[in-house]
Structure 1
Amino acid sequence: MPYQDVFVLFWEQVKESFQEGRFAKLTMAKTIGKPNLRNIFVRPLSSEDDFKVLVKLRYQSRDTEDEEKELTLDEAFVFLKPYLKTSFWSVLLFTTTKDVIFKINKKGAGSITEGSPTFRDVREAKSDVR
């Protein structure tokens, strides 16, 4: 199945874990080539109005400052999609009940696997975004 379709299925699990309070962290990993962008992390961030996430772009170079953005979950989906297969081969969802791994192979097919949970608790991120 094309990775775009599989990522939509994967994101349904992200939304479900977020709504149920099990979402601990999401990490984009396995960079393609040797980019300056090393990882993208998504952590839960509670606000008064509704739930948001903190998206953090971490760079290899110490000369490039990490970037942070506060987004809704839907905005995070739109923000992260262009990084698939251009910058990263995999996305890891960490919840308190299971870890879910989305991978793209060299032929552009996506897959989802599940494993035991890495996190026991959900810890909200602290935002520096102003």
Structure 2
Amino acid sequence: MTYQEDFIVFWQQVKQSIKEEAFAKLTMAKTIGKPELKNIFLRPIYADGEFKVILKYSFRPRETEDIEEEMTLEEALIIIKEHLKTSFLSVLLFSTAKDVTFKINKKGIGTITENYPTFKNVS
């Protein structure tokens, strides 16, 4: 199975956590090399019956200001896919039900692991 196929399975878990209102945060981590972009975070906005996210770009040099944008989950997915395997090798889903980690190894194979939840509440 390719990492893209595994990522689809992972993204279904992201959507399920949103449906259950358990989605707390999503983090792209494990950068490739030493880029200025350190992390990408998604945080939920549950408002007016519509789900949106705040997408935050966090940069390594502290002098560089972080960038935040409000968008739909579908818009965020496009950005995450653009950075997957080019800038980051892992994506972590934090929900109140469980933490799910998607990783791509050096051979380009994706894996999904689950752990106990880090967050007890969605803020």
TM-score, length-normalised on structure 2? 0.96
Q: Which runs of 5+ in 1 are unaligned?
A: 124-130
> How has the CA–CA distance of structure 1 residues 49 and 20 changed in structure 2, closer, same or farther, with 3 Å as cutoff?
closer
Does the alignment pair 1:115 with 2:115? Answer: yes
* AA in 1 matched with 2:119: F
Aligned-partner Cα distance in 2 for 1:49–1:98:
24
Identity %: 60
Amino acid at match of 2:91: V
Partner of 2:23: 23
Aligned to 2:66: 66
Whole-angstrom distance in 2 between the partners of 1:18 and 1:47: 13
User: Are 2:105 and 1:81 equivalent residues in the alignment?
Assistant: no
Please give the root-mean-square deviation of Cα atoms over the aligned residues, in Å. 1.0
Number of residue equivalences: 123
Report SS of the residue matched to 2:118.
coil
Aligned twin of 2:50: 50
Structure 2 partner of 1:8: 8
**Inter-partner Cα distance in structure 1 for 2:43 and 2:8:** 19
| Structure 2: distance between partners of 1:64 and 1:48 | 33
Gaps spanning 5+ residues in structure 2: where?
none
User: What's the CA shift for 1:64?
Assistant: 1.7
